[in-house]
Every structure is written in structure tokens, then in C-alpha cells.
């Protein structure tokens, strides 16, 4: 949706989001396709007149520019969302359902184009990541279409001659901020949950993946009244922080790092606002001796989300393997990893694309370099031999480290890159203790053929989501979210939408004949 209707007088300034990889020339502003923010049903640039430029992390080429929004822009968007609230919160479930179903059809009609933009912008491989993510967007819109019908209350038999019942009320204006790793899916799940429950929203996507979100939400806008959904863009500490602290916002919903999540929670504390937080993880994958087989090895590789460069909050990045099968199982995992094709995200032969940006690349490489300096062994991958500019992008091979203690930095801090640490274990109590000795509690994976063992382990792990003998991603209907420092609230399910995006109002009516 590059704009054509923009009129502005201030000079255009361009700020690079990503460093240039191959000494490509700085973009000429006028030549770069522009995307605009969506406020009150219209398209708009930032009041500052400044722009951010998005380059592909896999090639360094400029894809487009988008507004560097400020607090003035988020304010306009919040006020538009507030104006739209009165009619949207009373719109019938059928109206909301029709809007979501029509939007899903429109997204489906443009699925491949959207997946390509997603792949170019994030470096995520088209076949393994970008197409499935757009498919998930369509599924989510269809799943939540009928959610409003399910926002039911209860009757309470507490007092004679008093009819007490509850109804679910939307909070009002939701401020939502999302990260770049699954930008379309994580945006749409928040939009669908909040809007289906009668809230309106101002959404800010990540600066590394704003264009695809603007494209997807532009499709949604065609089916929504003005102001119900507003999308602003810019830098987190600028417009993101301003949006979260806007006095007319009624609910905060954030997906991203635990560090920023903490600051969102502090902001919420100032006004006693409800919050949903989907934060970081360092999830354990535990392999029992009866599962030393290739199917489990493939599952562990899938759970590590290597095909998303490990940039997943649910990555099973701490691999605990029973000592009796440690070497043989690790060989199976290394064999499976060695078959992954790393390269051009748009090539259908590619399994794994590029890391999102220079900062993240440097961070991941420094974790690996420090671990190796501390005596770890890289069974696969390691510090890249070639410089990023020689490869054309922020590419890194999938890396498996051994020889580290469970308390080493690479083994207990979230790296958010293609790095898995493998650790042997010898007793169930010991591995449970190590798995739970984390500030995070997002996901966990158990691999065992023995049903009693698997169910016992599922009960013992401190995590919002335990998968047994599988390692898939989130799906509609699953109440997904973390415990401990991984977050507050549940997403992806209608129950999560009701719990996280409405409050229960009790109504008591005297029905006696003599008041
Ligand atoms: P991040 O916290 O740096 O940024 C996330 C979003 O917050 C971006 O849109 C950014 O612009 C914005 N932001 C940054 N500073 C802000 C501030 N002061 N106020 C308001 N907004 C601000 O995280 P990231 O690096 O983009 O994403 C990676 C993190 O997200 C990882 O920790 C990962 O585990 C987590 N994540 C969690 C889930 C989940 O469901 N639990 C899903 C995906 C990613």
C-alpha cells in the first residue's frame, strides 16, 4: 500500500533501521516506496515528517520506508480509537464475524504476495516460515470470527429474590506492541482477540517488520469502521513508550522481550491498567533413553525453531539428553541439522534464512564466541567463518554447543538465535530441577515413549505449554502464554480473549414482588 495521497510540507528525513551490508548507497527518499500509518480510517505520515527505512536482512536492499511516528501520532490514534469505541462495543457479534471472515478471504487471496513481503522484510524463509505464518493469520481470523458469541456470562444463585448475573464488558482502547519475529501472526492474534470482544485498538509493530503488518492491517481496514483499528509505526522507546503511557488507553498488550515487558508493567502500575505480556523464554527439551531415534531428533530440531533462525520465544534451546544415549542422540540431531539449507529466504529450496539485523547477529555470535572461549564444543555451526557482507546478509549456520554447565550464560540466557545447548542428565529429579531452574516458564518439550513418564514430566515442568512427542507452533484454540518471567495472560484461544480482553460485570436485580 505505498501511498499516493500524502500531502506534507516538512522536509523528509530518512533514518536507517538496519546498517548497510554491502555498502549499498543510501536511499534517495523520493525513490523509496512508502507505507503510511493507519489512523481513523485514513493513511497518514508522521507529524514529524521523518521516515525509517527498512532493508532486507538477507540482501541489504531497501524495501521501503515507513513513518517515524511520535507521541503526537500515537495520541491522534488513541483518540480515534476512543471515538470508535461507542459503536464498535455495541456492534452485534454477527457484524464482527462478517468483518473477520471477509478479511480472512481477502488475506487468502493475496497470501503469496504477503508471504513474500514478510520473507523479504524479516529474512524468514518463504517455504518454512513466511507462507505458514500467513496461513496462520487466515486461520486466526476465521477462528476468532465467531468469538463474540462465546463471551457469555453466568447467573449466580446467591440471594433469594435477587437475580444476579454477569456480562462480559470490553476494556475499551487497547494499546498493543508486537515484535518482529512473527509480525503478522502476533499482530493479528492481538487484533482478533481484542476486536472480537468489542475493544478498539492502536497497534505498533516492530521497526524491523512494519511493512508486512501495514499491508495485512490495510486489508482488515476495508472491513472495519474507521478508528476501530489504528496502526502507528516508529521506534519502541519513542512512539512505543508514548502509546503505552497514553492516558486514554484502557489495556496494555505487549509481546516482546522481558526487559521491555517489565517497563510496560511498570507503566501499567501507574494507572492500575490490565496487561497481557508475552515475553521471553529458554525452554527445555528433555529426551528420555527410549527416544533415541531419528523422529525424535527431527522433533528436537523443529522445536529449536532452527528454520526461524532460532528467533522464537518457544525455541527448545536447552536440550537435556539422558547420559546413556547422549552421544548417539546428538549425532542424530547433528545429522538432521546438517541437512538444513541456509540461504536466500525467497528460494523454495531454503530451510533457514537470515538473522533479523546486525545487532541481533552480533549478540548471537558473541554468545557462541564466549561459550567456545569457555571450553564449549560446537558440534555444528559455530562462529561464522565469513563476514556477513561476504554472504550478503546476516546468515549463520545452526549451532549446537556441548561441554557447557547448565548455569553457563549460553545455557540459561535467551539468545534468540540458532544456538542450542545440549546437556546430559542422569536422573529424572535432576533434570526436572535443572529444567525448572530458569527465570522463564514459557514452553517445554518431553520426548518419551512411556506414557506415565511423559505425563509425570508434563506435570512437573514449570511452563505455560508442554508438548509431548511433538514440537509444533501455536494454533487457534490453544490457550498459549507463559508463567514466571515469560508473561501474564493467554492468547490464541477464545477463552484467552474473554479472560484477557474483557472484565466481568455483575448485575444484581431485586425481583421480589414487594420492593
Ligand atoms: P523488544 O522487546 O526489543 O521489542 C518488541 C517491541 O517493543 C517492538 O515493537 C519495539 O519497538 C517495542 N519497544 C521497544 N522498547 C519499547 C519501549 N520502551 N516501550 C514500548 N515499546 C517498546 O523485543 P524484540 O527483540 O523485538 O523481540 C524479541 C523478544 O520477544 C524475545 O525476548 C522473544 O522471546 C519475545 N517474544 C515473545 C513471544 C511470546 O509469545 N511469549 C513471541 C515472540 C517474541
Confidence label for 26 from pLDDT (cuts 50, 70 and 90)? low
- For ligand 1, atom 42: residue with the closest CA: 313
Q: How many domains does the chain have?
A: 2
Q: Any alpha helices (H) in 409-466, and if so which ranges?
A: 409-412, 428-436, 451-460
Grid cell at residue 34: 512508502
Mean pLDDT computed over 24-45: 83
Residue 510, in any domain of the structure? no
Q: Is 177 in the pocket of ligand 1 (CB under 6 A)?
A: yes
At 31 the pLDDT is 72
**pLDDT greater at residue 389 or residue 148:** 148
Q: Is 309 in the pocket of ligand 1 (CB under 6 A)?
A: no
- For ligand 1, atom 43: residue with the closest CA: 313
Active-site residue, from 97, 278, 414, 485: 278
The rounded distance, in Å, linking the Cα atoms of 35 and 215 is 8
Task: Say if residues 411 and 374 touch (Cβ distance below 8 Å).
Answer: no
At 1 the pLDDT is 38
Mean pLDDT computed over 331-341: 98
Pair 257, 113 in one domain: yes
Pairing of strands 275-278, 37-39: unpaired
**Closest ligand 1 atom to Cα of 480:** 40
**Whether the model pTM is above 0.85:** yes
The rounded distance, in Å, linking the Cα atoms of 502 and 24 is 49
345-381 residue pLDDT tens: 999 999 999 999 999 999 999 999 999 999 999 999 9
At 14 the pLDDT is 61
Pair 211, 79 in one domain: yes
Q: What are the distances in angstroms from CA 354 to CA 102, 231, 317, 442, 472?
A: 34, 27, 18, 25, 21
Pairing of strands 487-488, 275-278: antiparallel
Pair 259, 360 in one domain: no
Pair 264, 313 in one domain: no
At 389 the pLDDT is 74
The rounded distance, in Å, linking the Cα atoms of 88 and 172 is 10
Mean pLDDT computed over 297-305: 98
Residue 133, in any domain of the structure? yes
The rounded distance, in Å, linking the Cα atoms of 243 and 307 is 33
Pair 158, 239 in one domain: yes
Q: Is 238 in the pocket of ligand 1 (CB under 6 A)?
A: no
Confidence label for 17 from pLDDT (cuts 50, 70 and 90)? low
Helix axes 494-501, 183-196, angle to 10 degrees: 70
At 22 the pLDDT is 52
Distance 291 CA to ligand 1 centre (A): 35
At 24 the pLDDT is 57
Pair 230, 297 in one domain: no
Residue 337, in any domain of the structure? yes
Mean pLDDT computed over 102-112: 98
- For ligand 1, atom 22: residue with the closest CA: 236
Pairing of strands 37-39, 42-44: antiparallel
Mean pLDDT computed over 91-110: 98
**Closest ligand 1 atom to Cα of 360:** 25
**Closest ligand 1 atom to Cα of 280:** 34
Confidence label for 9 from pLDDT (cuts 50, 70 and 90)? very low
Query: How many Cβ atoms from other residues are within 10 Å of residue 156's Cβ?
Result: 14
Confidence label for 388 from pLDDT (cuts 50, 70 and 90)? confident
Task: Say if residues 190 and 176 touch (Cβ distance below 8 Å).
Answer: yes
- For ligand 1, atom 16: residue with the closest CA: 236
Residue 308 has pLDDT above 70, yes or no: yes
CA angle 29, 110, 149 (to 5 degrees): 115
Residue 9, in any domain of the structure? no
162-209 residue pLDDT tens: 999 999 999 999 999 999 999 999 999 999 999 999 999 999 999 999
Q: Which helix (H) or strand (E) holds 507?
A: strand 502-510
Confidence label for 4 from pLDDT (cuts 50, 70 and 90)? very low
DSSP for 261-279, please give it: HHHHHHHHHHHT--EEEE-
Domain harbouring 119, CATH code: 3.40.605.10
Task: Say if residues 115 and 134 touch (Cβ distance below 8 Å).
Answer: yes
At 5 the pLDDT is 37
Q: Is 414 in the pocket of ligand 1 (CB under 6 A)?
A: yes
Residue 453, in any domain of the structure? yes
Which residue out of 234, 257, 355, 413 has the highest number of ligand 1 atoms within 8 Å of its CB and is therefore the one to mutate?
257
**Closest ligand 1 atom to Cα of 258:** 32
DSSP 67: E
Pair 86, 211 in one domain: yes
Pair 169, 309 in one domain: no
The rounded distance, in Å, linking the Cα atoms of 82 and 204 is 17
Domain harbouring 415, CATH code: 3.40.309.10
Q: Is 313 in the pocket of ligand 1 (CB under 6 A)?
A: yes
Pair 210, 314 in one domain: no
Distance 331 CA to ligand 1 centre (A): 34
56-60, 191-195, 303-307: the lowest-pLDDT one: 56-60
At 32 the pLDDT is 83
Q: Is 360 in the pocket of ligand 1 (CB under 6 A)?
A: no
DSSP 129: I
At 455 the pLDDT is 98
**Closest ligand 1 atom to Cα of 278:** 41
Residue 309, in any domain of the structure? yes
At 207 the pLDDT is 96
Residue 62, in any domain of the structure? no
Confidence label for 298 from pLDDT (cuts 50, 70 and 90)? very high
Q: Is 353 in the pocket of ligand 1 (CB under 6 A)?
A: no
Domain that holds residue 187: 38-50+70-279+491-500
Distance 378 CA to ligand 1 centre (A): 29
Pair 114, 245 in one domain: yes
**For residue 440, which of 510, 487, 381 has the smallest C-alpha distance?**
487
Active-site residue, from 313, 414, 485, 491: 313
Boundary-marking domain end, from 426, 453, 468 = 468
At 515 the pLDDT is 56
Grid cell at residue 131: 507462507
Grid cell at residue 35: 507505507
The SS3 call for residue 497 is helix
- In the chain, count H helices and then E strands: 16, 23
Q: Is 281 in the pocket of ligand 1 (CB under 6 A)?
A: yes
**Closest ligand 1 atom to Cα of 208:** 26
Residue 408 has pLDDT above 50, yes or no: yes
**Is 97 a residue of the active site?**
no
The rounded distance, in Å, linking the Cα atoms of 374 and 377 is 9
Pair 321, 273 in one domain: no
Pair 186, 313 in one domain: no
- For ligand 1, atom 40: residue with the closest CA: 278
Residue 368, in any domain of the structure? yes
Which residue out of 52, 68, 179, 235 has the highest number of ligand 1 atoms within 8 Å of its CB and is therefore the one to mutate?
179
**Is 278 a residue of the active site?**
yes
Amino acid at each position: 500500500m505505498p501511498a499516493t495521497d500524502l500531502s506534507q510540507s516538512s522536509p523528509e528525513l530518512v533514518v536507517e533501521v538496519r546498517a548497510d551490508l554491502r555498502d549499498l548507497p543510501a536511499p534517495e527518499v523520493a525513490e523509496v516506496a512508502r507505507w503510511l500509518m493507519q489512523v481513523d480510517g485514513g493513511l497518514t505520515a508522521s507529524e514529524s515528517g521523518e521516515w525509517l527505512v527498512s532493508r532486507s536482512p538477507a540482501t541489504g536492499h531497501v524495501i521501503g520506508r515507513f513513518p517515524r511516528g511520535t507521541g503526537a501520532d500515537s495520541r491522534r490514534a488513541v483518540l480515534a480509537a476512543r471515538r470508535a469505541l461507542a459503536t464498535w462495543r455495541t456492534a452485534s457479534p454477527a457484524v464482527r464475524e462478517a468483518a473477520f471472515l471477509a478479511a480472512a478471504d481477502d488475506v487468502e487471496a493475496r497470501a503469496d504476495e504477503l508471504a513474500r513481503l514478510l520473507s523479504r522484510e524479516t529474512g524468514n524463509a518463504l517455504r518454512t516460515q513466511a507462507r505458514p505464518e500467513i496461513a496462520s493469520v487466515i486461520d486466526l481470523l476465521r477462528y476468532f470470527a465467531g468469538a463474540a458469541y462465546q463471551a457469555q456470562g453466568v447467573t449466580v444463585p446467591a440471594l433469594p429474590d435477587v437475580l444476579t448475573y454477569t456480562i462480559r464488558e470490553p476494556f475499551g482502547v487497547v494499546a498493543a506492541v508486537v515484535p518482529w519475529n512473527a509480525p503478522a501472526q502476533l499482530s493479528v492474534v492481538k487484533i482478533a482477540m481484542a476486536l472480537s470482544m468489542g475493544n478498539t485498538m492502536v497497534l505498533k509493530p516492530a521497526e524491523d517488520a512494519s511493512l508486512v503488518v501495514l499491508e495485512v492491517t490495510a486489508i482488515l481496514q476495508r472491513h472495519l469502521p474507521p478508528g476501530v483499528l489504528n496502526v502507528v509505526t516508529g521506534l519502541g522507546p519513542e512512539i512505543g513508550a508514548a502509546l503505552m503511557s497514553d492516558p486514554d488507553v484502557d489495556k496494555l498488550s505487549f509481546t516482546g522481550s522481558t526487559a521491555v515487558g517489565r517497563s510496560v508493567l511498570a507503566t501499567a502500575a501507574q494507572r492500575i491498567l490490565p496487561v497481557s505480556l508475552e515475553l521471553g523464554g529458554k525452554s527445555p527439551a528433555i529426551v528420555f533413553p527410549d527416544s533415541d531415534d531419528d523422529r525424535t531428533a527431527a522433533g528436537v530440531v523443529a522445536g529449536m525453531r532452527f528454520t526461524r533462525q532460532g528467533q522464537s520465544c518457544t525455541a527448545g534451546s536447552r536440550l537435556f539428553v539422558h547420559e546413556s544415549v547422549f552421544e548417539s542422540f546428538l549425532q542424530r540431531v547433528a545429522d538432521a541439522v546438517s541437512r538444513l539449507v541456509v540461504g536466500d529466504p525467497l528460494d523454495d529450496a531454503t530451510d533457514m534464512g537470515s538473522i533479523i539485523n546486525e545487532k541481533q547477529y552480533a549478540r548471537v555470535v558473541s554468545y557462541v564466541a564466549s561459550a567456545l572461549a569457555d571450553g564449549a564444543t560446537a558440534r555444528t555451526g559455530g562462529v561464522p567463518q565469513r563476514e556477513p557482507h561476504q554472504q550478503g546478509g546476516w546468515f549463520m549456520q545452526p549451532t549446537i554447543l556441548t561441554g557447557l554447565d547448565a548455569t553457563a550464560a549460553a545455557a540459561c540466557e535467551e539468545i534468540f538465535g540458532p544456538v542450542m545447548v545440549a546437556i546430559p542428565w542422569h536422573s529424572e529429579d535432576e533434570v526436572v530441577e535443572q529444567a525448572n531452574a530458569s527465570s522463564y516458564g514459557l514452553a517445554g518439550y518431553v520426548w518419551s515413549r512411556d506414557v506415565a513418564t511423559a505425563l509425570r514430566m508434563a506435570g512437573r515442568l514449570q511452563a505455560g505449554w508442554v508438548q509431548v512427542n511433538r514440537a509444533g507452533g501455536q494454533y487457534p484454540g490453544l490457550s498459549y502464554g507463559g508463567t514466571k518471567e515469560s508473561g501474564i495472560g493467554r492468547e490464541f484461544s477464545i477463552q484467552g480473549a474473554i479472560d484477557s480482553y474483557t472484565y466481568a460485570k455483575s448485575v444484581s436485580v431485586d425481583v421480589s414482588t414487594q420492593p
